[in-house]
Structure 1
Amino acid sequence: MEQLLEILSEIQPDVDYETCTTLIDDEWLDSFAILSIVSELEEAFDIGITPADIVPENFNSAQALYQMVKRLQEEG
C-alpha cells in the first residue's frame, strides 16, 4: 500500500489519498492522471489493467486501487 501511495502522490500531490474516497466522483483525478496511474501501476506491480478495470469503483480511493492491484496480481 505504501508503494501505491507514493505513486499516487507523485502523479497528483495535492490529494489526501489516505482519506479521500471520491477521487473520481469529485474529479480529483482527470483522464491524464488516470492514464498515468494505470501506466505506473502496471510497471510497478507487473500487472495488466484492462479497460474493464478502469471504472470509478476501482479508482475512487487508494484502498480500491490497492484491492484492484491485489486482485490482478492473484489473477496474473
Structure 2
Amino acid sequence: MEELLEILEGIAPGEDFENCTTLIDDHILDSFAILSLVSEIEDTFDVEVSPAELIPANFNSAKSLWEMICRLKED
C-alpha cells in the first residue's frame, strides 16, 4: 500500500489519499492521471489492468485501488 500511496503522491501531490474516497468524483484524478496511474501500477506491481477494471469504483480511493491490485495479483 505504501508504494501505491507514493505513486499517487507523484501524480497528484498534496492530496489526502489515505482518507479521500472521491478521487474520480471530485476530479482529483483526471483521464491523463488515470493513464499514468495504470502504467505505474502495472510496472510496480507486475499486473495487467484490463479495460474492464477502468471503472470509477476501482479508482475513487487508495483503498479501492489497492483492492484491485490485490485481486489482479491473485489472477
Structure 1 gaps of 5+ residues are none
Shift of 1:14: 2.6
Q: How many residues align?
A: 75
- Cα separation, 1, equivalents of 2:13 and 2:36: 13
2:39 match: 39
Amino acid at match of 2:47: I
TM-score normalised by the chain length of structure 1: 0.96
Percent of matched pairs sharing the same residue: 60
2:24 match: 24
- Cα separation, 1, equivalents of 2:60 and 2:17: 10
2:52 match: 52
- Cα separation, 1, equivalents of 2:26 and 2:11: 17
- Cα separation, 2, equivalents of 1:4 and 1:10: 10
User: What root-mean-square deviation, in Å, do the aligned CA atoms of Structure 1 and Structure 2 show?
Assistant: 0.5
Deviations 1:10-61 (A, max 9, x none): 1111311011000001111110000000000000000000111010000000
Structure 2 gaps of 5+ residues are none
